[in-house]
């Protein structure tokens, strides 16, 4: 399942890059593509393992969290073409996603004390 989730997000990265190619964006897309793909590759196995170790109840919770992340991504993506600053934030969002999923999976397995 984690592979499918990963593939889905990776597909978004590719779609975004395709949309941006040929536009007047001054950001170095090739560089960002490298950075994001580096992070995705680096965390992939660890995430798959952490996800496999979750109980089915916690996996359900994980999908609810993914829905929130998806909502946040959509909010950003909807206005990404309006300014390079927003686009930059969107790239940062994608770059940080693998590590963020790792934190989520770790917290689901071993919840911190609130507060």
Partner 1 sequence: MRNMEYCIRGNEGTFQLPKNGSDLASFIVAHPTYIYPLINIVNVLSEVNYDQRSDFTASSLRECELMGQVIVDTPESTHFVQVLESFLQRDIATSGQLRGKLLEYLINAIGPMSDLGDDRQTVRDCYLVDSEERLMGGGSNFDFAFIDYENRKYELLECKFTLANFLDYRKAQAMRKIEYMDTISNILIGKNYNVHVAFVSLAFSIAYELYFLDNHGLTQIAIYNYEDMMTRFEVRRSSQKNQSV
How many Å apart are CA 36 and CA 93, to the nearest integer?
A: 10
Give the C-alpha separation, 55 to 42, whole Å.
24
**Residue 102 touches partner 1, criterion: CB under 8 A:** yes
Which tokens belong to 25? 């964006």
By CB under 8 A, tell whether 95 contacts partner 1: yes
Q: How far apart are CA 19 and CA 79, in angstroms?
A: 13
User: 1 vs 67, which CB is nearer to partner 1?
Assistant: 67
- Burial of residue 82 (CB within 10 Å: 0-12, 13-18, 19+) is exposed
Tell me which residues in 29-88 interact with partner 1 (CB under 8 A). 31, 35, 38-39, 41-43, 61, 64-65, 68-69, 71-72, 75-76, 79, 83, 85-86, 88
Residues that bind partner 1 (CB under 8 A): 31, 35, 38-39, 41-43, 61, 64-65, 68-69, 71-72, 75-76, 79, 83, 85-86, 88-90, 92-93, 95-100, 102-104, 106-108, 111-112, 114-115
């Amino acid at each position: 399942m984690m592979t499918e989730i990963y593939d889905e997000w990776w597909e978004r990265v590719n779609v975004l890059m395709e949309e941006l190619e040929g536009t007047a964006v001054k950001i170095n897309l090739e560089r960002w593509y490298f950075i994001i793909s580096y992070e995705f590759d680096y965390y992939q196995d660890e995430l798959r393992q952490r996800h496999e170790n979750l109980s089915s109840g916690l996996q359900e919770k994980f999908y609810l969290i993914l829905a929130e992340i998806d909502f946040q991504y959509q909010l950003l993506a909807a206005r990404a073409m309006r300014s390079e600053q927003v686009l930059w934030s969107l790239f940062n969002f994608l770059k940080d996603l693998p590590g963020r999923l790792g934190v989520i999976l770790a917290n689901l397995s071993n919840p911190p004390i609130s507060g």
